[in-house]
């Protein structure tokens, strides 16, 4: 339980977004929507939405794939992050410069003290939670239609991604398998599979998917149980019928449970999910 307690403390820190920087590091093609979203069945928090668009978005008429991500405070800007940012904007700008592949990223801010409720589909007897289904339904039924209406998107399943880490990895895994017709690319990084054994039954009932790509990532320094849980879920997915060619599982021996690790792996995750060479 020691590793789970340590991860839980980390989860709380991420939720409250303790910043170590005074200046914004977000690139100019990142913005925060004026419109905020209340999710009545979830909580009373007004959720801010960050949007990254490709560098040439304003001078182009093209449509782009959309990746939905959680913990927006930690994705683009060191000023709002817990302990450094993912550098999603810098990474995607680099990919665009080298390959001309562009993406829209929609980051949903977590609800601070409500983060555990938002990112967990099932309740934990000690840590609570369990409103993840409401959160995912919001993305599918409210936020995605809004983004598709107001941005030049490729709305089809094969172009739509869902990526997160820790509890954000858990809710990405859950959301992807629950809505396989909506999300075609899933990134579940350092996923908190330990949070509930219900994930096993859920996977058995929803894991036979033929047209979806799933990337599982874990760090070797996150604790042996994290490695073991991820390997068990990979095995269960394959036994359930998930196509092996569409599933990638990686253990980085040097990876820790933090933004620096997820930032260092983000380019590889995106490249595999979207076939970027």
Q: Is there a domain that residue 262 lies in?
A: yes
CA separation, residue 110 to residues 120, 140, 231, 266, 269 (Å): 12, 17, 28, 20, 22
Q: Is there a domain that residue 231 lies in?
A: yes
Q: Provide the residue count of the chain.
A: 277
The 8-class DSSP code of residue 37 comes to E
The 8-class DSSP code of residue 170 comes to H
**Residue 248 in contact with residue 214, Cβ under 8 Å?**
yes
pTM for the full predicted model: 0.93
Q: Is there a domain that residue 23 lies in?
A: no
Q: Number of structural domains, the chain?
A: 1
CATH of the domain at 77: 3.40.50.1820
**Residue 72 in contact with residue 50, Cβ under 8 Å?**
yes
Q: Is there a domain that residue 228 lies in?
A: yes
Number of Cβ atoms within 10 Å of the Cβ of 231: 14
- Selection from 81, 116, 146, 143 nearest residue 7 by Cα: 116
Q: Is there a domain that residue 52 lies in?
A: yes
By residue range, what is the domain housing residue 241?
Answer: 2-18+28-273
Q: Has residue 239 got a pLDDT over 90?
A: yes
Better-predicted residue by pLDDT, 21 or 130: 130
**Least confident among 5-19, 34-48, 79-93, 129-143:** 5-19
Render pLDDT for 173-195 as a digit per residue (tens, 0 to 9): 999 999 999 999 999 999 999 99
Q: Is there a domain that residue 250 lies in?
A: yes
Q: Is there a domain that residue 181 lies in?
A: yes
């Amino acid at each position: 339980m020691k590793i789970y307690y340590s991860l839980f403390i980390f989860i709380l820190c991420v939720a409250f977004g303790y910043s170590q920087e005074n200046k914004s590091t977000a690139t100019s093609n990142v913005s925060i929507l004026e419109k905020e979203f209340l999710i009545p069945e979830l909580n009373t928090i007004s959720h801010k939405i960050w949007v990254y668009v490709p560098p040439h978005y304003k001078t182009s008429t093209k449509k782009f794939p959309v990746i939905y991500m959680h913990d927006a405070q930690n994705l683009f800007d060191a000023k709002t992050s817990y302990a450094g940012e993912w550098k999603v904007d810098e990474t995607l700008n680099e990919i665009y410069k080298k390959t001309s592949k562009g993406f829209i990223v929609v980051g949903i801010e977590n609800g601070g003290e409500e983060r555990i409720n938002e990112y967990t589909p099932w309740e934990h007897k000690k840590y609570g939670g369990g409103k993840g289904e409401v959160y995912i339904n919001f993305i599918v039924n409210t936020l995605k239609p809004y983004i598709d209406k107001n941005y030049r998107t490729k709305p089809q399943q094969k172009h739509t991604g869902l990526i997160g880490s820790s509890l954000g990895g858990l809710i990405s895994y859950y959301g992807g398998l629950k809505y396989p017709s909506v999300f075609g690319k899933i990134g579940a990084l350092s996923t908190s599979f330990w949070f509930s054994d219900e994930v096993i039954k859920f996977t058995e009932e929803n894991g036979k998917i033929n047209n979806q790509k799933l990337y599982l990532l874990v760090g070797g320094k996150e604790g042996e149980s994290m490695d073991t849980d991820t390997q068990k879920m990979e095995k269960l997915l394959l036994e359930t019928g998930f196509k092996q060619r569409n599933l990638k599982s990686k253990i980085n021996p040097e990876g820790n449970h933090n933004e620096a690790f997820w930032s260092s792996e983000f380019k590889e995750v995106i490249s595999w999910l979207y076939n970027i060479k």
